[in-house]
Chains A and B, each alone.
Chain A
Amino acid sequence: MISRLSEKLRSLRTMGLSMAGAAALATVMFLPTQSAAEEEVVILGIWPITGPYADMGPLLNRGVEIALEEVGYKVAGKKIKYITRDSETKAGTAARRAQGAIDSEGVKFIIGPWSSGVALAVTEVAKKNKVMYYFSGGTEDITGKRCHKYAFMWAANAWTAMDANLKIFKKFNPNAKSIYLFVVDYAFGWTLQKYVEKLAPKYGLKIAGVDRHPLGHREYSSFITKAMATKPDAVYMINFGLDAISAVRQLYNFGFTPKKPVILSWSAGVEELVQMDPAMRANLQFGTNYYYTVDTPGNKSFVDAYKKKSGGIPPGYAPGAGYGLMKMTLLGMQKANSTDPKKVIQALEGLKGKNFVGDFAINGRNHQTVRPYFVARTKPEDKMANKYDFATIQDISSTEQPRDLNQCQDIGGF
């Protein structure tokens, strides 16, 4: 009995010593981590490294890195720890990984992803964790009915973009009467479709037909024969990346272009154009949030820095967005002279200025970045000064979405 009691005491003493040792070790290990955390701000870039937009992830990230290199990975007296996660262009995966990075890495700011569907999941993670979030661009819900105090959008509003596209199309095709829509079947596609249908009559255009196709669709022959049967004056595309490129290629095969124009209403610009043969891109009009020939001092230095990293290829929308998102986030920190998300958000609200895309203003009511949207038309091959001289910008529109169309009723508080 006594021996069992002394054995138990011994084991308790051993356990106590072990626990004390573990606590001491944890304290020693934790202290430097905590002090390091105080000296650095952790920013998460969540990008599509795999999945349907896998080709865009590295390009977005490259733009971010240029913005960080410009400030030497330091802001408001702190070091910047920039980490990335793969969204896989899956809402669930992206939300889970963003939450994991907040929990394990102490993330205070998130930028990305690329897809609207994923952004709608990530914005909820940001709201729940009181982490500032800058979305590249797409669904208007981020600054519309799902707006909240922590979320911002960098790209132009969908209404602004569609209005600019239709205006330029009508300017260059005054006799055009109808357009046929190819729409990618998810939230952002529907948003753009809604605005095109609303705006088309303003420019004397009828919608000859609409076909929604699944994301990642590669075979458009069936849609094209349907569209051609209605004899539209143009095919207006509300799809992106490889979907858009595939459709353009097949429209050319069917002889629709270059006889009639094709409009890429929300284009990646360089990243899409470079994948098309010059014959295919004849008579293309495209709208984009960034084109590398934008004439601003900030853009020139960005383009030069990007070309050094890309072997001479100029940046398109994806690297432009990556660069723009990080620049805006850093600007907020610089203005606030703080890396506290609340102070940064307050500094950004209502902020006006000039950056690499031109004049910008952040609407404090819904956190939409009001900035230029570019509409360009492709050049014929014999007019191209070099192999990347794809197009000429025809219009720059910064018209803000009419207030009655914006569904952000109350952005709420912190």
Chain B
Amino acid sequence: MSFLILSQILNGFATGMLYALVGVGLTLVLGVLNLPNFAHGTLFAFGAYFTYTVANLTDSFYLGVLIGPLLVVLIGFVIESQGVRRLYAAHHDYQLLFLFAVALILQETVILIWGPVGFSLLPPKFLAGAVDLGFTVYPKYRLALILFTATIVVALYLMLTRTNVGAILRAGIENREMVKVLGIDINKVFLFTFGLGAYLAGLAGGLATPIWGLTPTMGFDILPISFVIVVVAGLGSILGAIAAGILIGLAQSLTTIWWPEAANVVIYLIMGLTIILRPQGLFGSR
């Protein structure tokens, strides 16, 4: 049983790190722009599809993961500069409707470009297959994924806490009016934040392709989990989103040992408990 628990912890980390990447992107946008980005899931899907396309064209998964998410950033820039920016002054309902419409349009665009049938993408040869860890046999790609996403998350955390850009973003989360008063071009901050959120969603999508494959609806599959992470983390909390992503991944994984049918329910149970016991989220202050 202890071997099984260890295996599930490993699984929980691999899934949780992907959740964390998606969650951090969403919480950044929500924190700085005060905008629940319903299109975040479809940006995740576009990241996967761009990665798949570039990987097939170049015969390199690494190039796919490098270029694919950057293409998603371009989509993010268009959504923010041509759509969302015009609605900052509008009622929240309009923003929600707009982003929901964008999500649906993007999903249909995936079907128009790549078709309704899904695809699979193999991990690169170097990371194909599984390795015997003594207590379990585990895919090399998932182990690499844990290390890579952990590096990205740490780099992101350092960027947000140790650089001027990070300071501006954190200030934007705390009080964006004050950021404006300090003479910082808030439009650029919003554009950068939306782009960064799109990049993280796209990167998670690209990295997830060898595990979850590609389907046009994959964006709407990940979206509810992303919002759960934001709620559990606390509004705008980067550290919280990382912790919540890992927590959700671990909870899902460990639940399958004793109660596999509840593997999805446990996510919402954690969210419900958070709302009841700590409405501001595990790491939130408002």
Pick from B4, B215, B264: contact of A55, CB below 8 A: B215
Q: For the complex, is B83 an interface residue (Cβ under 8 Å from A)?
A: no
Say yes or no: A55 contacts B117, CB within 8 Å. yes
- Which of B12, B137, B261 interacts with A254 by CB under 8 Å? B137
Q: B120–A217 contact, CB under 8 A?
A: no
- Which residue on chain B has the smallest CB distance to residue A223? B256
Closest A residue to B256 using CB positions: A222
Residue of B117, B136, B139, B260 touching A274 (CB-CB under 8 A):
B117
What separation, in Å, do the CA atoms of A201 and B25 have in the docked complex? 51
| CB atoms of B120 and A253 under 8 A apart | no
Beta-carbon contact of A221 and B212 below 8 Å: no
Instruction: Please give, as numbers and ranges, the residues of chain B lying within 8 Å of A280 by CB-CB distance.
Output: 120, 122
B211 touches A213 (CB 8 A): no
Asked if A214 and B221 sit within 8 Å, CB to CB, the answer is: no
For window 111-131 of B, CB contacts with A under 8 Å fall at 116-123, 129-130
On whether the beta carbons of B130 and A242 are closer than 8 Å, the reply is no
A222: which of B141, B217, B253 is its contact (CB, 8 Å)?
B253
> Is the pair A221, B260 in contact by a Cβ cutoff of 8 Å?
no
Residue in B12, B120, B129 whose CB lies within 8 Å of A249: B120
Q: Is B8 an interface residue (CB 8 A)?
A: yes
Determine the residue in chain B with the shortest Cβ distance to A221. B11
- In this assembly, does A276 line the interface, its C-beta being within 8 Å of a C-beta of chain B? yes
In the bound complex, do residue B260 and residue A223 qualify as a contact, i.e. CB atoms below 8 Å apart? yes
Q: What CA separation (Å) do A271 and B118 show in the bound complex?
A: 9
Contact of A279 with B by CB under 8 A = yes
Is B263 an interface residue when CB atoms closer than 8 A count as contact? yes
- Is A54 engaged at the interface, CB distance under 8 Å to the other chain? yes
The reply on B14 being an interface residue by CB < 8 A is yes
Whether B40 is near chain A, meaning CB under 8 Å from some CB there, is no
With a cutoff of 8 Å between Cβ atoms, the chain B residues found around residue A218 in the complex are: 212, 221
Q: Are A55 and B116 in contact (CB under 8 A)?
A: yes
Residues of A within 8 A of B226 (CB): none
Contact A222 B252 (CB under 8 A): yes
Contact of B119 among A222, A246, A275 (CB under 8 A): A275
Size range of the interface on A? 20 to 34
Assess the A221–B15 pair: CB atoms within 8 A.
Answer: yes
B165 within 8 A of A: no
A253-B130 in contact (CB<8A)? yes
Task: Return the chain B residue nearest A222 by Cβ.
Answer: B256
Closest CB of chain A to B157's CB: distance in Å? 25
Contact call B130/A255, Cβ cutoff below 8 A? yes
- Nearest neighbor of A250 in chain B, beta-carbon distance: B211
- With both chains docked as a complex, state the minimum distance between the C-beta of A8 and any C-beta of chain B, in angstroms: 49
Cross-chain contact of A277 among B14, B121, B217 (Cβ < 8 A): B121
| Complex contact B263–A222 (CB within 8 A) | yes
In Å, the complex CA distance between A86 and B235 comes to 37
Is B129 in contact with A255, judged by CB distance below 8 angstroms?
Answer: yes
B residues sitting closer than 8 Å to A (CB atoms) are 3-4, 7-8, 11-12, 14-15, 116-123, 129-130, 136-139, 141-142, 210-213, 215-217, 221, 252-254, 256-257, 260-261, 263-265
Can you list 24 A-B pairs with a CB-CB distance of less than 8 A?
A55-B216, A58-B116, A212-B260, A213-B263, A214-B261, A214-B265, A218-B221, A219-B211, A219-B252, A221-B11, A222-B252, A225-B11, A226-B4, A226-B257, A229-B3, A229-B4, A245-B118, A249-B212, A253-B130, A253-B139, A253-B210, A253-B211, A271-B117, A275-B117
Binding site for B on A (CB under 8 A): 54-55, 58, 185, 211-214, 216-219, 221-223, 225-226, 228-229, 242, 245-246, 249-250, 253-255, 271, 274-277, 279-280
The 4 closest A-B pairs by CB, nearest first: A255-B130, A222-B256, A225-B7, A221-B11
